[in-house]
Structure 1
Amino acid sequence: MLRPVMAEEPMVDLPLAVQGGGRCSRWPRGFLPFAALYGEHRHRGRVHAFVTFASSGLDETIFRALNLAGTDPVLDRIFVFFTILTGVYVIFLVAVPLWLKGLREATFDVLLVLGITILVSEAIKYLVGRARPCDTLSNVRTLAGYRCSAEFDPAFPSGHASRAFAVAGFLAIRFRWKVGVPAGVAAVLAGLSRVYLGLHWPSDILGGAVVGIALALLVEYVSRRVGLYQRIRRRIVEAIPHLRRRTA
Protein backbone atom coordinates (compact mmCIF):
# COMPACT_ATOMS: atom_id res chain seq x y z
CA MET A 1 0.00 0.00 0.00
CA LEU A 2 1.25 3.44 -0.91
CA ARG A 3 0.63 6.35 1.38
CA PRO A 4 0.69 9.75 -0.32
CA VAL A 5 1.70 12.42 2.15
CA MET A 6 0.60 15.93 1.37
CA ALA A 7 2.99 18.53 2.69
CA GLU A 8 4.39 21.93 1.87
CA GLU A 9 7.24 22.07 -0.60
CA PRO A 10 10.74 22.31 0.93
CA MET A 11 11.28 25.88 2.04
CA VAL A 12 14.82 26.30 0.69
CA ASP A 13 14.90 26.78 -3.06
CA LEU A 14 17.54 29.48 -3.45
CA PRO A 15 20.89 28.45 -4.96
CA LEU A 16 23.96 28.40 -2.80
CA ALA A 17 22.30 30.04 0.15
CA VAL A 18 22.28 29.50 3.86
CA GLN A 19 19.10 30.80 5.40
CA GLY A 20 18.34 31.39 9.03
CA GLY A 21 17.28 34.17 11.31
CA GLY A 22 16.56 36.44 8.37
CA ARG A 23 20.13 36.24 7.08
CA CYS A 24 21.33 34.87 3.77
CA SER A 25 24.95 33.96 3.04
CA ARG A 26 26.37 33.00 -0.35
CA TRP A 27 28.57 29.99 -1.01
CA PRO A 28 31.31 30.04 -3.69
CA ARG A 29 29.80 28.87 -6.97
CA GLY A 30 32.37 26.11 -7.35
CA PHE A 31 30.86 24.33 -4.34
CA LEU A 32 27.43 23.91 -5.97
CA PRO A 33 27.59 20.13 -6.45
CA PHE A 34 28.70 19.59 -2.88
CA ALA A 35 27.44 22.48 -0.76
CA ALA A 36 25.04 21.66 2.04
CA LEU A 37 22.58 24.27 3.15
CA TYR A 38 22.02 24.90 6.80
CA GLY A 39 19.16 27.00 8.16
CA GLU A 40 16.30 27.20 10.57
CA HIS A 41 12.56 26.90 10.11
CA ARG A 42 9.64 26.18 12.36
CA HIS A 43 8.20 22.69 12.63
CA ARG A 44 5.19 22.14 14.88
CA GLY A 45 5.89 25.21 16.92
CA ARG A 46 9.61 24.75 17.53
CA VAL A 47 12.63 26.12 15.73
CA HIS A 48 15.04 23.54 14.47
CA ALA A 49 17.85 23.25 11.99
CA PHE A 50 17.72 21.33 8.77
CA VAL A 51 20.28 20.14 6.28
CA THR A 52 19.60 19.78 2.57
CA PHE A 53 21.53 19.58 -0.66
CA ALA A 54 21.94 22.71 -2.78
CA SER A 55 19.15 23.83 -5.06
CA SER A 56 20.20 21.40 -7.77
CA GLY A 57 17.64 19.12 -6.09
CA LEU A 58 20.10 16.23 -6.07
CA ASP A 59 18.90 14.89 -2.72
CA GLU A 60 15.26 14.74 -3.79
CA THR A 61 16.11 13.45 -7.26
CA ILE A 62 18.04 10.50 -5.83
CA PHE A 63 15.33 9.94 -3.22
CA ARG A 64 12.61 9.72 -5.89
CA ALA A 65 14.69 7.27 -7.92
CA LEU A 66 15.27 4.94 -4.95
CA ASN A 67 11.94 5.27 -3.14
CA LEU A 68 10.26 2.23 -4.71
CA ALA A 69 8.48 0.69 -1.71
CA GLY A 70 5.44 -1.30 -2.75
CA THR A 71 6.46 -1.69 -6.40
CA ASP A 72 8.04 -5.14 -6.10
CA PRO A 73 7.24 -7.69 -3.36
CA VAL A 74 10.69 -9.28 -3.59
CA LEU A 75 12.50 -5.96 -3.20
CA ASP A 76 10.15 -5.06 -0.36
CA ARG A 77 11.17 -8.19 1.56
CA ILE A 78 14.88 -7.68 0.86
CA PHE A 79 14.98 -4.08 2.04
CA VAL A 80 12.72 -4.67 5.03
CA PHE A 81 15.12 -7.46 6.03
CA PHE A 82 18.12 -5.11 5.93
CA THR A 83 16.23 -2.43 7.84
CA ILE A 84 15.41 -4.97 10.56
CA LEU A 85 18.97 -6.33 10.48
CA THR A 86 20.45 -2.97 11.44
CA GLY A 87 17.99 -2.31 14.24
CA VAL A 88 18.73 -3.65 17.72
CA TYR A 89 19.54 -7.05 16.22
CA VAL A 90 22.89 -5.81 14.92
CA ILE A 91 24.19 -5.88 18.51
CA PHE A 92 23.49 -9.60 18.84
CA LEU A 93 24.54 -10.49 15.30
CA VAL A 94 28.00 -9.01 15.82
CA ALA A 95 28.76 -9.11 19.54
CA VAL A 96 27.55 -12.63 20.33
CA PRO A 97 29.61 -14.44 17.64
CA LEU A 98 32.72 -12.45 18.61
CA TRP A 99 32.26 -13.33 22.27
CA LEU A 100 31.64 -17.02 21.55
CA LYS A 101 34.84 -17.13 19.50
CA GLY A 102 36.75 -15.85 22.51
CA LEU A 103 37.37 -12.43 20.97
CA ARG A 104 36.57 -10.65 24.22
CA GLU A 105 38.37 -7.39 23.56
CA ALA A 106 36.86 -7.10 20.09
CA THR A 107 33.41 -7.70 21.60
CA PHE A 108 33.97 -4.92 24.13
CA ASP A 109 35.22 -2.56 21.43
CA VAL A 110 32.36 -3.16 19.00
CA LEU A 111 29.77 -2.69 21.76
CA LEU A 112 31.47 0.58 22.67
CA VAL A 113 31.43 1.66 19.02
CA LEU A 114 27.71 0.90 18.79
CA GLY A 115 26.91 2.64 22.07
CA ILE A 116 28.78 5.81 21.17
CA THR A 117 27.33 5.78 17.66
CA ILE A 118 23.78 5.60 18.97
CA LEU A 119 24.38 8.47 21.41
CA VAL A 120 26.14 10.69 18.88
CA SER A 121 23.68 10.08 16.04
CA GLU A 122 20.68 10.73 18.29
CA ALA A 123 22.26 13.93 19.61
CA ILE A 124 22.92 15.17 16.07
CA LYS A 125 19.36 14.28 15.05
CA TYR A 126 17.85 16.60 17.63
CA LEU A 127 20.43 19.34 17.08
CA VAL A 128 19.76 19.34 13.34
CA GLY A 129 16.05 18.54 13.55
CA ARG A 130 15.63 17.66 9.90
CA ALA A 131 12.20 16.39 8.83
CA ARG A 132 11.91 13.06 7.04
CA PRO A 133 10.87 12.90 3.38
CA CYS A 134 7.68 11.04 4.29
CA ASP A 135 6.79 14.08 6.43
CA THR A 136 7.62 16.77 3.89
CA LEU A 137 7.09 15.39 0.37
CA SER A 138 3.95 14.29 -1.41
CA ASN A 139 3.50 10.88 -3.04
CA VAL A 140 6.17 9.15 -0.97
CA ARG A 141 6.00 5.38 -1.27
CA THR A 142 5.86 3.61 2.09
CA LEU A 143 4.96 0.20 3.50
CA ALA A 144 2.64 -0.66 6.37
CA GLY A 145 4.65 -0.70 9.57
CA TYR A 146 7.40 1.46 8.07
CA ARG A 147 5.92 4.92 7.94
CA CYS A 148 6.68 8.25 9.54
CA SER A 149 5.75 8.57 13.19
CA ALA A 150 2.88 10.82 14.21
CA GLU A 151 5.36 12.67 16.42
CA PHE A 152 8.33 14.51 15.00
CA ASP A 153 11.22 12.09 14.52
CA PRO A 154 14.37 13.75 13.12
CA ALA A 155 16.02 12.25 10.06
CA PHE A 156 19.65 13.40 9.91
CA PRO A 157 21.78 11.35 10.27
CA SER A 158 20.20 7.94 9.73
CA GLY A 159 20.57 5.85 12.88
CA HIS A 160 20.37 2.61 10.92
CA ALA A 161 23.10 3.77 8.53
CA SER A 162 25.34 5.04 11.32
CA ARG A 163 25.11 1.72 13.18
CA ALA A 164 25.61 -0.35 10.04
CA PHE A 165 28.66 1.60 8.90
CA ALA A 166 30.10 1.75 12.42
CA VAL A 167 30.03 -2.05 12.58
CA ALA A 168 31.29 -2.45 9.01
CA GLY A 169 34.08 0.04 9.62
CA PHE A 170 35.12 -1.66 12.85
CA LEU A 171 35.12 -5.13 11.29
CA ALA A 172 37.08 -3.94 8.26
CA ILE A 173 39.72 -2.29 10.46
CA ARG A 174 40.00 -5.12 12.96
CA PHE A 175 39.58 -8.17 10.71
CA ARG A 176 40.42 -6.75 7.29
CA TRP A 177 38.62 -7.33 4.01
CA LYS A 178 37.49 -10.92 4.46
CA VAL A 179 34.98 -9.72 7.04
CA GLY A 180 34.88 -6.04 6.16
CA VAL A 181 33.67 -6.41 2.58
CA PRO A 182 30.51 -8.44 3.40
CA ALA A 183 29.80 -6.10 6.31
CA GLY A 184 30.27 -3.10 4.03
CA VAL A 185 27.87 -4.51 1.43
CA ALA A 186 25.30 -5.13 4.17
CA ALA A 187 25.77 -1.55 5.41
CA VAL A 188 25.18 -0.12 1.94
CA LEU A 189 22.02 -2.20 1.51
CA ALA A 190 20.83 -1.15 4.96
CA GLY A 191 21.29 2.48 4.00
CA LEU A 192 19.51 2.02 0.69
CA SER A 193 16.63 0.31 2.50
CA ARG A 194 15.91 3.47 4.47
CA VAL A 195 15.54 5.51 1.28
CA TYR A 196 13.62 2.71 -0.45
CA LEU A 197 11.08 2.72 2.39
CA GLY A 198 10.69 6.50 2.22
CA LEU A 199 12.07 7.11 5.71
CA HIS A 200 15.30 8.95 4.92
CA TRP A 201 16.91 11.30 2.44
CA PRO A 202 20.03 9.99 0.67
CA SER A 203 22.08 12.62 2.52
CA ASP A 204 20.84 11.16 5.82
CA ILE A 205 22.49 7.90 4.81
CA LEU A 206 25.69 9.65 3.80
CA GLY A 207 25.75 11.50 7.12
CA GLY A 208 25.15 8.27 9.02
CA ALA A 209 27.98 6.55 7.15
CA VAL A 210 30.39 9.38 8.01
CA VAL A 211 29.40 9.31 11.69
CA GLY A 212 29.65 5.53 11.96
CA ILE A 213 32.98 5.16 10.19
CA ALA A 214 34.52 8.11 12.06
CA LEU A 215 33.55 6.64 15.43
CA ALA A 216 34.82 3.20 14.44
CA LEU A 217 38.18 4.76 13.58
CA LEU A 218 38.21 6.69 16.85
CA VAL A 219 37.53 3.64 19.01
CA GLU A 220 40.09 1.59 17.10
CA TYR A 221 42.72 4.29 17.62
CA VAL A 222 41.96 4.56 21.35
CA SER A 223 41.92 0.78 21.78
CA ARG A 224 45.43 0.49 20.33
CA ARG A 225 47.08 3.65 21.67
CA VAL A 226 45.56 4.52 25.05
CA GLY A 227 46.91 2.41 27.91
CA LEU A 228 44.22 3.47 30.39
CA TYR A 229 41.51 2.28 28.03
CA GLN A 230 43.29 -1.03 27.54
CA ARG A 231 43.56 -1.60 31.29
CA ILE A 232 39.91 -0.80 31.92
CA ARG A 233 38.83 -3.04 29.06
CA ARG A 234 40.98 -5.90 30.33
CA ARG A 235 39.52 -5.70 33.82
CA ILE A 236 35.96 -5.66 32.52
CA VAL A 237 36.29 -8.58 30.11
CA GLU A 238 38.23 -10.68 32.63
CA ALA A 239 35.45 -10.21 35.17
CA ILE A 240 32.90 -11.81 32.82
CA PRO A 241 32.74 -15.58 32.14
CA HIS A 242 34.06 -16.30 28.68
CA LEU A 243 35.48 -18.93 26.38
CA ARG A 244 39.28 -18.91 26.55
CA ARG A 245 40.41 -19.08 22.98
CA ARG A 246 42.21 -15.93 21.98
CA THR A 247 41.91 -12.16 22.12
CA ALA A 248 41.71 -9.72 19.23
Structure 2
Amino acid sequence: MGWLDPVFEGLSLLGSLGLIWIAIAAVLALTGRSSRFDLLVVMAATALGNLSAYGVRLAVDRPRPPTVYPQPDPLVRVPLDPSFPSGHATMAFACALLLAWGRPFRPVLALYSLAGAIAFSRVYVGVHYPLDVLGGALLGLALATALRWLVRGPRRSARGLRAG
Protein backbone atom coordinates (compact mmCIF):
# COMPACT_ATOMS: atom_id res chain seq x y z
CA MET A 1 0.00 0.00 0.00
CA GLY A 2 1.42 3.35 -1.07
CA TRP A 3 1.25 6.44 1.07
CA LEU A 4 -0.99 8.15 -1.52
CA ASP A 5 -3.54 5.33 -1.54
CA PRO A 6 -5.72 6.79 1.25
CA VAL A 7 -5.59 10.24 -0.39
CA PHE A 8 -6.92 9.00 -3.71
CA GLU A 9 -9.39 6.61 -2.10
CA GLY A 10 -10.74 9.63 -0.21
CA LEU A 11 -10.90 11.78 -3.34
CA SER A 12 -12.72 9.00 -5.17
CA LEU A 13 -15.23 8.76 -2.34
CA LEU A 14 -15.52 12.56 -2.18
CA GLY A 15 -16.56 12.64 -5.84
CA SER A 16 -19.25 10.00 -5.43
CA LEU A 17 -22.78 11.25 -6.10
CA GLY A 18 -21.52 14.81 -6.50
CA LEU A 19 -22.21 15.66 -2.86
CA ILE A 20 -19.01 17.72 -2.48
CA TRP A 21 -20.18 20.02 -5.28
CA ILE A 22 -23.62 20.42 -3.76
CA ALA A 23 -21.96 21.21 -0.41
CA ILE A 24 -19.72 23.86 -2.02
CA ALA A 25 -22.72 25.41 -3.80
CA ALA A 26 -24.70 25.39 -0.54
CA VAL A 27 -21.90 27.15 1.35
CA LEU A 28 -21.65 29.76 -1.42
CA ALA A 29 -25.43 30.29 -1.29
CA LEU A 30 -25.49 30.54 2.51
CA THR A 31 -22.65 33.08 2.54
CA GLY A 32 -24.26 35.23 -0.15
CA ARG A 33 -21.57 34.51 -2.75
CA SER A 34 -24.08 32.68 -4.92
CA SER A 35 -27.84 32.26 -5.10
CA ARG A 36 -30.11 29.43 -4.06
CA PHE A 37 -31.02 29.11 -7.72
CA ASP A 38 -27.35 28.43 -8.51
CA LEU A 39 -27.45 25.68 -5.89
CA LEU A 40 -30.39 24.12 -7.75
CA VAL A 41 -28.47 24.35 -11.03
CA VAL A 42 -25.50 22.53 -9.47
CA MET A 43 -27.84 19.88 -8.09
CA ALA A 44 -29.33 19.45 -11.57
CA ALA A 45 -25.83 19.19 -13.04
CA THR A 46 -24.92 16.35 -10.68
CA ALA A 47 -28.06 14.43 -11.62
CA LEU A 48 -27.76 15.13 -15.35
CA GLY A 49 -24.03 14.41 -15.29
CA ASN A 50 -24.59 11.05 -13.69
CA LEU A 51 -27.45 10.15 -16.04
CA SER A 52 -25.67 11.28 -19.20
CA ALA A 53 -22.46 9.44 -18.28
CA TYR A 54 -24.47 6.31 -17.58
CA GLY A 55 -26.24 6.56 -20.93
CA VAL A 56 -22.96 6.90 -22.81
CA ARG A 57 -21.50 4.01 -20.78
CA LEU A 58 -24.31 1.72 -21.88
CA ALA A 59 -23.84 2.75 -25.52
CA VAL A 60 -20.02 2.39 -25.54
CA ASP A 61 -19.88 -0.66 -23.24
CA ARG A 62 -16.14 -0.44 -22.52
CA PRO A 63 -15.02 -2.92 -19.85
CA ARG A 64 -13.28 -1.59 -16.76
CA PRO A 65 -9.51 -2.12 -16.32
CA PRO A 66 -9.77 -4.84 -13.62
CA THR A 67 -11.92 -6.98 -15.89
CA VAL A 68 -9.43 -6.76 -18.78
CA TYR A 69 -5.96 -6.69 -17.24
CA PRO A 70 -4.57 -8.73 -14.39
CA GLN A 71 -3.50 -6.25 -11.74
CA PRO A 72 -3.45 -5.84 -8.02
CA ASP A 73 -6.87 -5.46 -6.47
CA PRO A 74 -8.36 -2.00 -7.08
CA LEU A 75 -8.40 0.26 -4.03
CA VAL A 76 -12.17 0.71 -4.19
CA ARG A 77 -15.12 -1.47 -5.10
CA VAL A 78 -15.24 -1.94 -8.87
CA PRO A 79 -18.57 -0.74 -10.26
CA LEU A 80 -20.42 -3.29 -12.36
CA ASP A 81 -21.31 -0.86 -15.15
CA PRO A 82 -19.01 -0.12 -18.12
CA SER A 83 -16.04 2.23 -17.89
CA PHE A 84 -16.36 5.04 -20.46
CA PRO A 85 -16.94 7.84 -19.53
CA SER A 86 -16.21 8.40 -15.86
CA GLY A 87 -19.29 9.64 -14.02
CA HIS A 88 -17.08 11.13 -11.30
CA ALA A 89 -15.22 13.21 -13.91
CA THR A 90 -18.45 14.18 -15.67
CA MET A 91 -20.03 15.50 -12.48
CA ALA A 92 -16.81 17.09 -11.22
CA PHE A 93 -16.10 19.12 -14.34
CA ALA A 94 -19.75 20.06 -14.92
CA CYS A 95 -20.04 21.42 -11.38
CA ALA A 96 -16.58 23.03 -11.41
CA LEU A 97 -17.49 24.97 -14.55
CA LEU A 98 -20.83 26.10 -13.14
CA LEU A 99 -19.33 27.14 -9.81
CA ALA A 100 -16.27 28.80 -11.38
CA TRP A 101 -18.09 30.86 -14.00
CA GLY A 102 -17.53 34.56 -13.39
CA ARG A 103 -15.31 34.09 -10.33
CA PRO A 104 -11.74 35.32 -9.76
CA PHE A 105 -8.74 33.18 -10.69
CA ARG A 106 -8.00 31.63 -7.27
CA PRO A 107 -11.44 30.06 -6.71
CA VAL A 108 -11.48 28.91 -10.35
CA LEU A 109 -8.08 27.27 -9.90
CA ALA A 110 -9.24 25.59 -6.68
CA LEU A 111 -12.45 24.27 -8.25
CA TYR A 112 -10.74 22.87 -11.33
CA SER A 113 -7.92 21.43 -9.22
CA LEU A 114 -10.47 19.58 -7.11
CA ALA A 115 -12.25 18.34 -10.25
CA GLY A 116 -8.95 17.16 -11.75
CA ALA A 117 -7.93 15.42 -8.53
CA ILE A 118 -11.27 13.61 -8.29
CA ALA A 119 -11.02 12.57 -11.94
CA PHE A 120 -7.42 11.35 -11.59
CA SER A 121 -8.33 9.44 -8.44
CA ARG A 122 -10.51 7.12 -10.52
CA VAL A 123 -7.48 6.10 -12.60
CA TYR A 124 -5.27 5.84 -9.52
CA VAL A 125 -7.65 3.53 -7.65
CA GLY A 126 -7.81 1.29 -10.71
CA VAL A 127 -11.39 1.55 -11.96
CA HIS A 128 -10.94 3.79 -15.03
CA TYR A 129 -8.59 4.34 -17.95
CA PRO A 130 -7.18 7.87 -18.49
CA LEU A 131 -9.41 8.35 -21.55
CA ASP A 132 -12.45 7.52 -19.42
CA VAL A 133 -11.80 10.52 -17.20
CA LEU A 134 -10.88 12.74 -20.15
CA GLY A 135 -14.12 11.78 -21.87
CA GLY A 136 -16.02 12.38 -18.64
CA ALA A 137 -14.40 15.80 -18.20
CA LEU A 138 -15.32 16.84 -21.74
CA LEU A 139 -18.86 15.51 -21.34
CA GLY A 140 -19.20 17.41 -18.06
CA LEU A 141 -17.94 20.68 -19.56
CA ALA A 142 -20.31 20.32 -22.52
CA LEU A 143 -23.22 19.45 -20.25
CA ALA A 144 -22.56 22.43 -17.95
CA THR A 145 -22.24 24.80 -20.89
CA ALA A 146 -25.55 23.56 -22.33
CA LEU A 147 -27.26 23.66 -18.93
CA ARG A 148 -26.02 27.18 -18.30
CA TRP A 149 -27.22 28.30 -21.71
CA LEU A 150 -30.65 26.73 -21.15
CA VAL A 151 -31.02 28.30 -17.71
CA ARG A 152 -29.60 31.75 -18.42
CA GLY A 153 -30.09 32.16 -22.17
CA PRO A 154 -27.36 32.92 -24.71
CA ARG A 155 -26.85 36.61 -23.85
CA ARG A 156 -26.82 36.26 -20.07
CA SER A 157 -24.64 33.13 -20.24
CA ALA A 158 -21.74 35.24 -21.48
CA ARG A 159 -21.67 36.88 -18.05
CA GLY A 160 -21.03 35.13 -14.74
CA LEU A 161 -23.36 32.48 -13.33
CA ARG A 162 -24.42 34.93 -10.63
CA ALA A 163 -25.06 37.74 -13.12
CA GLY A 164 -28.52 38.94 -13.94
Name 1:86's counterpart in structure 2.
15
Equivalent residues of 1:133, 1:198 under 8 A apart = yes
Partner Cα distance (1:187, 1:221) in 2: 21
Residue 62 of structure 2 is aligned to residue 134 of structure 1 = no
Q: 1:183 to 1:164 in 2, by over 3 A?
A: same
Match of 1:125 among 54, 57, 63: 57
Structure 2: segments with no counterpart, 5+ residues = 155-161
Q: Deviations over 1:27-61 (max 9, x none)?
A: xxxxxxxxxxxxxxxxxxxxxxxxxxxxxxxxxxx
- Higher RCO (CA 8 Å, separation ≥ 6 residues): 2
Partner Cα distance (1:168, 1:221) in 2: 16
* Per-residue deviation, 1:115: 1.8
Residue 95 of structure 2 is aligned to residue 163 of structure 1 = no
* Per-residue deviation, 1:221: 1.6
Q: 1:205 to 1:79 in 2, by over 3 A?
A: same
Match of 1:96 among 26, 40, 50: 26
Partner Cα distance (1:138, 1:147) in 2: 16
Which letter maps to 1:214?
A
Q: TM-score, normalised by structure 2?
A: 0.84
Which letter maps to 2:40?
F
Q: Deviations over 1:219-245 (max 9, x none)?
A: 22222217xxxxxxxxxxxxxxxxxxx
Q: 1:157 to 1:176 in 2, by over 3 A?
A: farther
* Per-residue deviation, 1:215: 0.9
Partner Cα distance (1:164, 1:99) in 2: 19
Match of 2:151 among 207, 223, 239: 223
Equivalent residues of 2:21, 2:95 under 8 A apart = no
Q: Identity over aligned residues, as a percent?
A: 33
Q: TM-score, normalised by structure 1?
A: 0.57
Number of residue pairs matched by the alignment: 154
Which letter maps to 2:9?
V
Residue 107 of structure 2 is aligned to residue 179 of structure 1 = yes
More helix by share: 2
Partner Cα distance (2:102, 2:147) in 1: 11
More strand by share: 1
Higher mean alpha-carbon deviation, 92-101 vs 160-169, is at: 92-101
* Per-residue deviation, 1:177: 2.6
* Per-residue deviation, 1:83: 0.7
Which letter maps to 2:28?
L
Across the aligned residues of Structure 1 and Structure 2, the Cα RMSD in angstroms comes to: 2.0
Q: 1:91 to 1:157 in 2, by over 3 A?
A: same
Q: Deviations over 1:184-223 (max 9, x none)?
A: 0111111111111110000000010001111111122222
